[in-house]
Amino acid sequence: MNYKIVKLDRRHSWHHDFAYMIEFPKRSFSLGSSGVLAFDRSRRWFNETFGWSQDVDTRERMRVADKNIVGTDEYNSKWSWSIKYDEYRLYVSTEAELNWFVLKHPQA
């Protein structure tokens, strides 16, 4: 599986909610396949392991619409995802979730 791990800081969107971003390339030229399949497999794994989650935009709209939603179980605080602008990304809140992912999906 081909992906890139990015530690989020103030330059990145969603740095206030998540510590890491896992990016999947649109096309992996060395393997001749698209990152879409790897992203989909990884997102399904996160669903099974940490529970269902909304995309980051929906999650943010929920939080803005209802300030009382923070601290509840209305959305998954461990991870989220984004496919905006043809970028396939998973966001994880701590190093623990990232480590479980890397153990299950080693880089090829």
Tell which wins on pLDDT, 89 or 66.
89
For the segment 17-36, the average pLDDT, to the nearest whole number, is 78
pLDDT tens, position by position, 69-101: 555 567 788 999 999 877 899 999 999 999 999
Q: Is the pLDDT reported for residue 60 higher than 90?
A: no
pLDDT at 25: 85
Provide, rounded to the nearest whole percent, the portion of the chain with pLDDT above 70: 86
Domain boundaries, the chain: 4-104
Q: How far apart are CA 58 and CA 45, in angstroms?
A: 20
Q: How far is CA 79 from CA 29, 43, 57, 83, in A?
A: 28, 10, 13, 14
pLDDT at 73: 64
- β strands within 27-77, DSSP E: 27-28, 33-34
> At a CB cut-off of 8 Å and minimum separation 6, what does 80 contact?
14, 17, 18, 53, 54, 55, 56, 59, 90, 91
Q: Which of 84, 92, 23 is nearest to 57 (CA)?
A: 84
pLDDT at 30: 57
pLDDT at 41: 93
Q: How far apart are CA 76 and CA 59, in angstroms?
A: 9
